[in-house]
């Protein structure tokens, strides 16, 4: 390994460390931390997005320095399993446990395979399915991607693991933000529990999306490279400007829209192909 190839490797390892740190913070009792006064779950969610940043640039740096390798690709997938597979699933489990532990009939965690609550078992099963979906998604990507060239990284088959992790983590960040800024003590408990019921459903849908054949664009390679017209630049700048005032809301909206972009794009393509198929069938019949 030459000296220049160390740079993308360090970036990939930084992604892995972010995943490990996210799990560490999520495992702590829900309380404010020394990191900007954020809650432990908020810090864990933010670390997932920091890992996403390192994951977005390590491949670009490797191609820029001409140091792409199979070792780097495998290491990248291993880091992604932790940061975008295990960490979001564990974060979701801890969120549910934090707001439902008091209602558990036995001591210990509320969510798990051996708890009394059927909902607790279901949430743990969803988290396990999410981790399995992430592992399968990354293994399929490694097996089906022919090369390290940018042309082979324009689209993904199935929801990418960073996209799935972003959808789950951004909603958790939004839940924590709203809990501490918009709701009083009485309203907060109801909101917390409703959110804790909803986020596992989102995680399950993301798990299904990761193992599907739905096509998703690669955001960096498709939208952030090359020349763009004025309208495209404005559409890219607007979310950044909105995030200055409404960071958590914008993040949740952007990640949710990306997760939905695959199914919506598939429906749009089918609707466009429909009339063509009908015309072809009529021509064949004549």
Note the pLDDT of residue 199: 92
Tell me the torsion sign for CA atoms 119, 195, 19, 204: positive
Average pLDDT over the chain reads 82
Backbone φ and ψ for 148, nearest 5 degrees, come out as: -90, 0
Instruction: Give 257 or 101, the one with higher predicted confidence.
Output: 257
Q: Residue 116 in contact with residue 105, Cβ under 8 Å?
A: yes
What share of the chain in percent tops pLDDT 70?
Answer: 78
Q: State yes or no: pLDDT of 55 exceeds 70.
A: yes
Q: Residue 40 in contact with residue 24, Cβ under 8 Å?
A: no
d(CA 77, CA 136): 11
d(CA 153, CA 197): 35
Element of type H or E holding 215: strand 215-217
Residues contacting 16, CB < 8 A, separation 6+ = 51, 78, 79, 82, 83
Note the pLDDT of residue 172: 93
Instruction: Give 271 or 137, the one with higher predicted confidence.
Output: 137
Backbone φ and ψ for 37, nearest 5 degrees, come out as: 75, 10
Q: State yes or no: pLDDT of 277 exceeds 60.
A: no
d(CA 153, CA 166): 19
Q: Is 114 helix (H, G, I), strand (E, B) or coil?
A: coil
Instruction: Give 3 or 236, the one with higher predicted confidence.
Output: 236
Q: State yes or no: pLDDT of 68 exceeds 80.
A: no
Q: Residue 156 in contact with residue 215, Cβ under 8 Å?
A: yes
d(CA 272, CA 280): 14
**Tokens linked to 40:** 């432990």
pTM to 2 decimals?
0.85
Q: Is 155 helix (H, G, I), strand (E, B) or coil?
A: strand
pLDDT band for 84, please (50, 70, 90 cuts).
very high
């Amino acid at each position: 390994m030459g000296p220049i190839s160390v740079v993308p490797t360090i970036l990939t390892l930084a992604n892995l460390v972010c995943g490990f740190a996210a799990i560490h913070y999520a495992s702590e009792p829900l309380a404010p931390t020394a990191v900007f006064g954020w809650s432990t779950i908020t810090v864990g969610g933010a670390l997932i997005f920091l890992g996403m940043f390192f994951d977005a640039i390590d491949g670009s740096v490797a191609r820029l320095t001409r140091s792409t390798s199979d070792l780097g690709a495998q290491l990248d997938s291993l880091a992604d399993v932790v940061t975008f597979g295990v960490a979001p699933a564990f974060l979701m489990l801890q969120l549910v446990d934090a707001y439902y532990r008091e209602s558990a009939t036995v001591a210990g965690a509320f969510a798990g395979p051996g708890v009394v609550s059927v909902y607790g078992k279901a949430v743990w099963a969803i988290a396990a399915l999410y981790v399995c979906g992430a592992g399968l998604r990354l293994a399929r990507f490694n097996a089906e991607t022919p090369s390290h060239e940018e042309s082979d990284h324009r689209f993904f088959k199935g929801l990418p693991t960073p996209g799935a992790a972003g959808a789950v983590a951004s909603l958790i960040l939004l839940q924590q933000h709203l809990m501490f800024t918009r709701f009083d003590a009485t309203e907060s408990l109801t909101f917390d529990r409703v959110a804790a019921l909803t986020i596992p459903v989102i995680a399950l849908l993301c798990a299904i999306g990761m193992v599907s054949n739905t096509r998703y664009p690669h955001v960096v390679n498709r939208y952030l490279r090359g020349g763009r017209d004025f309208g495209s630049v404005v559409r890219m700048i607007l979310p950044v400007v909105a995030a200055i005032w409404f960071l958590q809301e914008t993040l949740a909206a952007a990640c949710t829209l990306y997760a939905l972009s695959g199914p919506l794009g598939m429906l749009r393509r089918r609707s466009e192909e429909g009339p063509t198929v009908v015309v072809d069938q009529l021509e064949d019949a004549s």
